[in-house]
């Protein structure tokens, strides 16, 4: 104990010295009067009801805190985040002349902003606050180890006090916000978000990788539970997007690179060569009255035939094509993989001169203040679950193929037929949870959330369209959780759909009739099922769209375990991400039906518009600073910085490093390597971190 | 006395992935041994080799540095640079005769609460098996 004490007493002096030299250099912005004062730290311990108090001995921890060096005051309260709790902090600052605050409670990721505000209200710089996490990383993970949790809480407070006693006044940097936004993905989520932003007066770049906007929703026939025609409610929105003055729509485009930070993102967009000029592009090239008007003559003469991906490959398209007649923008596109450059299309296009077979990709740079990712989903490749025979048996289709087959604008004009022989099916089985809620490691462990409802809709559609056709639904649970969904479920039951609770073991094909034999177990009746049907529809799981992974990395957004993009907080910030200024809309964050998707898009648009309307944002001042007298000008840090925020400059006849604060994001990669210890990372300075380590290992009571 | 000994382990973890992952373990009430103390940094790129050496000379029995998965760093590549330094420190520890297993670098994302609990369990076990930091004896 005695040994510990001596160490502790010598340590602060050393630290003080380092700090003093550091102070001299990182210029301006500081309130020097306060720096001179001896640290007086106030410690506040939160019970969080019984969340903390249930596993941590609060009284014991408070008594211990009082014994720590630099602690001038300690208190506890039921809920520190409540108004009276916060008032305790503000009052104590004034009453006890505190210079630093420690709140031992939940995670700083949750309540650091709250307590910084309280610290500020007490008249102290908000950055003189440090949090000790004794809930998420204390009481909650050592619930049955009161002694262990209490000891850990004491240590956490000791570590926090060591830092709090050394914290300095910091001032966030305010930067202007570019009055423009970007939305990546133009499905219903991206379109809604872009329209909302545009209507709020914000210039919005809407980026879509496909030649048309509309996304998955434009492939659907009807929408549950109202049975609105999907295209009928979507195409007006598509037209609005195409027309909106504030929306700059870029189709056949991908985000290539993202630089900068909230308020000032510099985004490079790759506009892939479409091979066809829009009327505007033609005019810019001096072709009067030229450009594509969507007449389709080129398609007529094109000799190359390919499957149309919009129709799930069930309808042909040419090498120069549009997905469907209602595309926005109505501009043809060349598929370079199949184009043979015969030039027939160029000839027939004639004076419009819309087609350019030599067109190259173009890189466009735009500056935006905020961005929304709405990258959507793909169908899970259900052939991986080979027991159900997808891609093995012709009459097994996935639900998106079924949508096209039942859709009036689809390849069969809305007449449902069996792919094998074009006959109308009389018995159709729907396999729900195909690849969802699957813990075998092949499928997805999550619930895809909208398959139950669209399968009910599919059952309704075949009952309505094909007299005498019987739908069978094999399900695990029917999850009809939305508004009017349960009622829709009852309606489909009344209409005569048959429901069998049980996951299908396998699907076999009769090689002569191409009928399918389903082997399953009815778990309600406790008996095996052996059922012959004409057609099987797999309600396949959904997964993040192919490009999601690449795009999220460009924007610095994390992903959940299941691949969906990670929100900042699942309940309190479902549209935000950990990258300030980047938001999520729609299914890219997790499976959602259309109402939830649109709601999330409107939420994201609202959130993304806030910094833009405010006009400026505050950046956390965790900037690097150069301690010039220690800097040897080696330049090692300059190369380490991923943001080009550091540079060597001439000062007093020698080279020293200089920081551009607006570019510095505060990662500290430079500070972790500077051989001379010449970089002062604000709020995470080396002496502060060393003090924390010392406090943990050799620190203790006064 | 030998049974009484509990290792002192320092965890230096990044704010965006591992700290969030550790919080998630808390929200999910995933239980793990209480023998680790956390210092939060914004990025594992911030971890100066000095911090680790200081911890060992102060008597830490183990040090865990944990950040984002490669390619997921909030600051693009700080975790690569941090990881590179950890290799350097590990070889340094070996050279001075300290088991390099006392230093561990892991990658735990914000959604991997269960993994965080597992990592802490593993580290506590490894360090417990290794026994107390011999430098602690030397310092006396």
Q: Does B103 touch chain A (CB under 8 A)?
A: no
CB A132 within 8 A of CB A102: yes
pTM score above 0.90 = no
Q: How is residue A200 written in tokens? A: 């709020």
Q: What are the start-end ranges of the E strands in chain B?
A: 9-14, 36-41, 62-67, 103-107
B-chain residues near A698 (CB < 8 A):
58-59
What's the average model confidence in pLDDT over A365-376?
A: 98
The owner of tokens 């380092």 is A18
- Rounded to an integer, what distance in angstroms lies between the CA atom of residue A110 and that of residue A100? 20
Whether the domain at A1-30+617-702 and the domain at A378-543 fall into the same CATH topology: no
What distance, in Å, lies between the first and last C-alpha atoms of chain A? Answer: 11
Query: Which residues touch A147 (CB under 8 Å, ≥6 apart)?
Result: none
Is the alpha carbon torsion for A558, A562, A564, A569 positive or negative?
negative
Instruction: List the single range of A25-29, A96-100, A294-298, A460-464 with lowest mean pLDDT.
Output: A25-29
Q: Does A135 touch chain B (CB under 8 A)?
A: yes
CB neighbour class for A342 (10 Å; exposed up to 12, middle 13-18, buried from 19): middle
Cα A645 vs. chain centroid, distance in angstroms? 26
Q: pLDDT tier at A510 (50, 70, 90 boundaries)?
A: very high
**What pLDDT digit, counting tens, does each position of B85-102 carry?**
999 999 999 999 999 999
Name the nearest CA neighbour of B50 among A677, A640, A683: A677
Q: How is residue A357 written in tokens? A: 């077979």
- Rounded to an integer, what distance in angstroms lies between the CA atom of residue A436 and that of residue A380? 9
Question: Does B71 sit within 8 Å of A668, measured CB to CB?
Answer: no
Report whether pLDDT(A389) > 50. Answer: yes
Alpha-carbon torsion angle A321, A324, A326, A327, nearest 10: -50
What's the average model confidence in pLDDT over B119-125?
A: 97
**What pLDDT digit, counting tens, does each position of A415-471 carry?**
999 999 999 999 999 999 999 999 999 999 999 999 999 999 999 999 999 999 999
A-chain residues near B87 (CB < 8 A):
none
A-chain residues near B84 (CB < 8 A):
none
pLDDT at A687: 96
**What pLDDT digit, counting tens, does each position of B13-48 carry?**
999 999 999 999 999 999 999 999 999 999 999 999
- Rounded to an integer, what distance in angstroms lies between the CA atom of residue A197 and that of residue A183? 10
B-chain residues near A671 (CB < 8 A):
46, 48
Strands A542-544 and A377-379: antiparallel
Yes or no: is domain A378-543 CATH 3.40.50.20? no
Question: Does B82 sit within 8 Å of A141, measured CB to CB?
Answer: no
**What pLDDT digit, counting tens, does each position of A21-32 carry?**
444 444 444 334
Domain boundaries, chain A: 1-30+617-702, 40-165, 178-272+362-376+571-614, 273-360, 378-543
Give CATH for domain A1-30+617-702.
3.30.70.20
Q: What is the ipTM of this complex?
A: 0.97
Question: Does A142 sit within 8 Å of B31, measured CB to CB?
Answer: yes
- Provide the CATH topology of domain A40-165: Rossmann fold (3.40.50)
What A400-406 contacts at long range (C-beta under 8 Å, 24+ apart), as own/partner pairs, is A400/A216, A400/A219, A400/A312, A400/A540, A401/A312, A401/A314, A402/A458, A402/A537, A403/A219, A403/A220, A403/A221, A403/A454, A404/A219, A404/A221, A404/A311, A404/A312, A404/A314, A404/A315, A405/A314, A406/A221, A406/A458, A406/A461, A406/A462, A406/A465
Q: pLDDT tier at A663 (50, 70, 90 boundaries)?
A: confident
**What pLDDT digit, counting tens, does each position of A102-158 carry?**
999 999 999 999 999 999 999 999 999 999 999 999 999 999 999 999 999 999 999
Looking at every residue in chain A, the average pLDDT score rounds to 93
Residues 641-670 of A with CB under 8 A from B: 642, 665-669
**What pLDDT digit, counting tens, does each position of A203-252 carry?**
999 999 999 999 999 999 999 999 999 999 999 999 999 999 999 999 99
Q: Which residue has the higher pLDDT, A643 or A433?
A: A433
**What pLDDT digit, counting tens, does each position of A598-625 carry?**
999 999 999 999 999 999 999 889 999 9
Of the options 3.40.640.10, 3.50.50.60, 3.90.1200.10, 3.40.140.10, the CATH number for the domain spanning A178-272+362-376+571-614: 3.50.50.60
**What pLDDT digit, counting tens, does each position of A317-343 carry?**
999 999 999 999 999 999 999 999 999
pLDDT at A26: 44
């Amino acid at each position: 104990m005695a040994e510990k004490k001596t160490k502790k007493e010598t340590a602060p002096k050393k630290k003080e010295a380092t700090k003093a030299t550091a102070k001299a250099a990182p210029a301006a912005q500081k309130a020097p009067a306060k720096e001179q004062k001896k640290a007086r730290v106030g410690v506040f311990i939160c019970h969080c009801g019984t969340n903390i108090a249930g596993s941590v001995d609060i009284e014991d921890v408070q008594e211990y805190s009082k014994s720590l060096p630099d602690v001038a005051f300690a208190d506890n309260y039921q809920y520190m985040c409540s108004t009276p709790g916060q008032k305790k902090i503000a009052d104590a600052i004034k009453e006890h002349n505190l210079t630093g605050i420690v709140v031992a409670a939940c995670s700083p990721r949750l309540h650091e902003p709250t307590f910084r505000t309280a610290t500020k209200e007490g008249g102290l710089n908000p950055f003189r606050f440090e949090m000790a996490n004794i809930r998420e990383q204390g009481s909650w993970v050592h619930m049955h180890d009161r002694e262990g949790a209490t000891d850990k809480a004491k240590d956490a407070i000791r570590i926090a006090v060591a830092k709090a006693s050394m914290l300095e006044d910091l001032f966030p940097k305010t930067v202007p916000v570019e009055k423009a936004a970007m939305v990546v993905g133009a499905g219903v989520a991206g379109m809604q978000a872009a329209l909302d932003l545009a209507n709020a007066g914000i210039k919005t770049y809407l980026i879509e990788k496909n030649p048309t906007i509309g996304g998955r929703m434009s492939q659907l026939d009807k929408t549950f539970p109202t049975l609105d025609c999907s295209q009928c409610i979507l195409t007006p929105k598509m037209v609005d997007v195409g027309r909106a003055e504030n929306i700059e729509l870029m189709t056949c485009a991908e985000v290539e690179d993202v630089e900068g930070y909230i308020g000032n993102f510099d985004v490079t967009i790759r506009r892939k060569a479409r091979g066809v000029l829009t009327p505007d592009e033609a005019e810019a090239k001096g072709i009067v009255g030229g450009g594509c008007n969507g007449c389709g003559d080129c398609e007529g003469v094109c000799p190359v035939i390919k499957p149309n991906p919009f129709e799930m490959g069930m309808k042909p398209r040419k090498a120069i094509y549009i997905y469907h007649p209602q595309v926005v923008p109505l501009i043809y596109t060349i598929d370079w993989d199949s184009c043979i450059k015969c030039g027939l299309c160029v000839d027939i296009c004639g004076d419009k001169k819309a087609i350019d077979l030599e067109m190259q990709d173009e890189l466009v740079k735009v500056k935006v203040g905020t961005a929304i990712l709405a990258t959507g989903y793909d169908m899970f490749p259900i052939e991986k679950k080979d027991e159900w025979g997808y891609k093995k048996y012709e009459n097994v289709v996935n639900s998106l193929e079924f949508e096209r087959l039942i859709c009036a604008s689809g390849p069969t004009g809305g007449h449902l037929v069996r792919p094998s022989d074009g006959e109308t099916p009389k018995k159709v089985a729907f396999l729900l949870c195909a690849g969802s809620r699957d813990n075998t490691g092949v499928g997805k462990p999550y619930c895809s959330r909208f398959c139950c409802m669209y399968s009910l809709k599919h059952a309704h559609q075949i009952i309505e369209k094909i007299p005498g056709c019987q739908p069978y639904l094999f399900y695990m649970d029917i999850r009809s959780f939305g508004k009017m969904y349960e009622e829709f479920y009852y309606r489909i039951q009344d209409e005569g759909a048959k429901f069998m609770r049980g996951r299908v073991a396998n699907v076999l094909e009769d090689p002569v009739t191409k009928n399918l034999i389903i082997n399953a177990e009815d778990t309600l009746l406790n008996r095996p099922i052996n059922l012959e049907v004409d057609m099987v529809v797999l309600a396949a799981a959904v997964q993040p769209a192919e490009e999601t992974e690449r795009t999220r990395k460009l924007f610095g957004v994390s992903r959940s375990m299941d691949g969906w993009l990670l929100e900042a907080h699942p309940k309190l910030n479902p549209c935000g991400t950990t990258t300030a200024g980047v938001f999520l809309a729609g299914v890219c964050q997790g499976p959602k039906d259309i109402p939830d998707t649109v709601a999330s898009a409107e939420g994201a648009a609202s959130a993304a518009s806030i910094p833009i309307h405010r006009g400026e944002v505050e950046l956390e001042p965790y900037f690097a600073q150069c301690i010039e007298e220690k800097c040897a000008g080696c330049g090692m840090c300059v190369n380490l910085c991923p943001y080009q925020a550091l540079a060597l400059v001439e000062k007093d006849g020698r080279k020293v490093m200089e920081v551009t604060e607006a570019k510095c994001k505060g990662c500290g990669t430079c500070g972790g390597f500077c051989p001379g210890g010449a970089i002062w990372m604000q709020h995470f300075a080396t002496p502060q971190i060393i003090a924390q380590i010392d406090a943990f290992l050799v620190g203790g009571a006064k | 006395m030998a049974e009484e000994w509990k290792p002192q382990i320092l965890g230096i973890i990044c704010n965006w992935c591992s700290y969030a992952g550790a919080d998630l373990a808390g929200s999910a009430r995933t239980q793990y041994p209480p023998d680790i103390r956390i210092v939060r940094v914004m990025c594992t790129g911030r971890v100066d080799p000095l911090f680790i050496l200081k911890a060992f000379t102060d008597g830490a029995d183990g040090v865990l540095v944990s950040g984002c998965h490669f390619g997921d760093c909030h600051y693009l590549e700080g975790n690569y640079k941090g990881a590179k330094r950890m290799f350097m420190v590990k070889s340094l520890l070996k050279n001075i005769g300290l088991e390099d297993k006392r230093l561990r670098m892991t990658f735990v994302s914000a959604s991997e609460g269960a993994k965080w609990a597992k990592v802490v369990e593993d580290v506590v076990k490894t360090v417990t098996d290794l026994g107390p930091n011999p430098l602690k004896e030397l310092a006396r």
